[in-house]
């Protein structure tokens, strides 16, 4: 059985699939040529990440497909319901990248409270001539310990983010439309564990009480955080979005940064991705990464192995 991993797959995943009799192709096929390639090469399993879309036209054009897999959490680039109606299972890896995304959230948070997003821009320019001025400018950092992190969306990634926050001594509030309460187990290097029970709060309570807000929601057809939401937040709040572009109103965000309502923001995803707006890219109070939340070696290995395991279970 032949598999096309159009957006790549880890070597561990490839090895496991080959050991179980699958042939794996890792060539990247352009979107407009995808259906033809699948048919010409008798592909029966299509694996994608976020770069490739699997819409109704591809599904209709490739009747021999037996399974579609997404390496990652979101399935917004796949017409899942339509595929399943056609008898094609759709799988993803909802847990494999959770820790990687959560750690990136804290990279943005730690960088924000110590002004690294700005210092890293200015030190190469003025570090040799204005060292003391820069030292003074960045001398009023704050600590995360003891502060409140508000999490909007409490799936696997939101929970992984909460675990890090609890581990460094933060208070965690969350709002989720489905998860009413959750017991989180923190496991430490020596085998010890601690359990924390968290209860769902209203969105308004999270926004009003949190020092930092982190978004962890799937693709939406409207903003989860807009101007009215930002207005009820604490003055000097920070906002991190490592979930999906389009869930945060970027115009409202920039206005709030300009007014000082929001102290800083960290963005890994963008409304107009893959061409983020210049006002976002050039803003001095935004920490920027190019949608790399799941892009760690460890996450890629877990994703590949999880995909391989599910493919083997379903098709063998």
Residues with a known catalytic role:
244, 273, 291
Contact predicate 29/71, CB 8 Å = no
Of 279, 192, 273, 274, which Cα lies nearest the Cα of 265?
Answer: 279
| Distance in angstroms (rounded) separating the CA atoms of residues 65 and 314 | 13
| Distance in angstroms (rounded) separating the CA atoms of residues 265 and 109 | 9
Give whole-number Cα distances, 185 to 159, 163, 182, in Å.
Answer: 10, 8, 10
Of 316, 309, 313, which Cα lies nearest the Cα of 16?
Answer: 309
Q: Where are the alpha helices (DSSP H) in 127-240?
A: 131-137, 156-167, 203-209, 227-231
Give residue 183's Cα distance to chain centre.
22
| Distance in angstroms (rounded) separating the CA atoms of residues 160 and 96 | 11
Contact predicate 100/298, CB 8 Å = yes
Dihedral sign of CA atoms 271, 276, 280, 286 in order: positive
Of 299, 301, 267, which Cα lies nearest the Cα of 281?
Answer: 267
DSSP 37: H
Of 172, 175, 179, 214, which Cα lies nearest the Cα of 196?
Answer: 172
């Amino acid at each position: 059985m032949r598999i096309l991993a159009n957006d790549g797959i880890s070597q561990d995943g490839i090895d496991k699939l080959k050991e179980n009799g699958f042939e794996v192709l890792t060539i990247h096929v352009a979107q407009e040529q995808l259906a033809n390639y699948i048919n010409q090469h008798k592909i029966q399993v299509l694996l994608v990440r976020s770069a490739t879309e699997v819409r109704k036209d591809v599904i209709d054009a490739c009747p021999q497909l037996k399974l579609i897999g997404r390496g990652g959490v979101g399935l917004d680039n796949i017409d899942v319901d339509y595929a399943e109606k056609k008898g094609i299972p759709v799988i993803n890896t909802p847990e494999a990248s959770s820790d990687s995304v959560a750690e990136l959230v804290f990279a943005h948070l730690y960088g924000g409270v110590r002004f690294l997003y700005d210092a890293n821009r200015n030190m190469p320019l003025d570090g040799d001539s204005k060292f003391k001025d820069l030292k003074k400018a960045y001398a009023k950092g704050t600590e995360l310990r003891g502060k409140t992190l508000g999490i909007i969306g409490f799936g696997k990634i939101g929970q992984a983010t909460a675990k890090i926050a609890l581990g460094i001594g933060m208070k965690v509030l969350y709002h989720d439309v489905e998860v009413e309460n959750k017991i989180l187990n923190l496991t430490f290097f020596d085998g010890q564990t601690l359990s924390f029970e968290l209860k769902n709060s209203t969105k308004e309570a999270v926004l009003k009480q949190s020092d930092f807000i982190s978004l962890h929601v799937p693709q939406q057809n409207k903003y989860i955080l807009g101007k009215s939401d930002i207005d009820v937040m604490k003055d000097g709040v920070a906002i991190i979005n490592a979930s999906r572009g389009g869930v945060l109103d970027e115009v409202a965000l920039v206005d709030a940064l300009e007014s000082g309502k929001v102290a800083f923001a960290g963005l890994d995803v963008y409304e107009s991705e893959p061409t983020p707006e210049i006002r976002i890219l050039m803003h001095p109070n935004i920490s920027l990464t190019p949608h790399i939340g799941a892009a760690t070696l460890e996450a890629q290995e877990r994703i590949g192995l999880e995909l391989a395991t599910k493919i083997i279970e379903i098709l063998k």
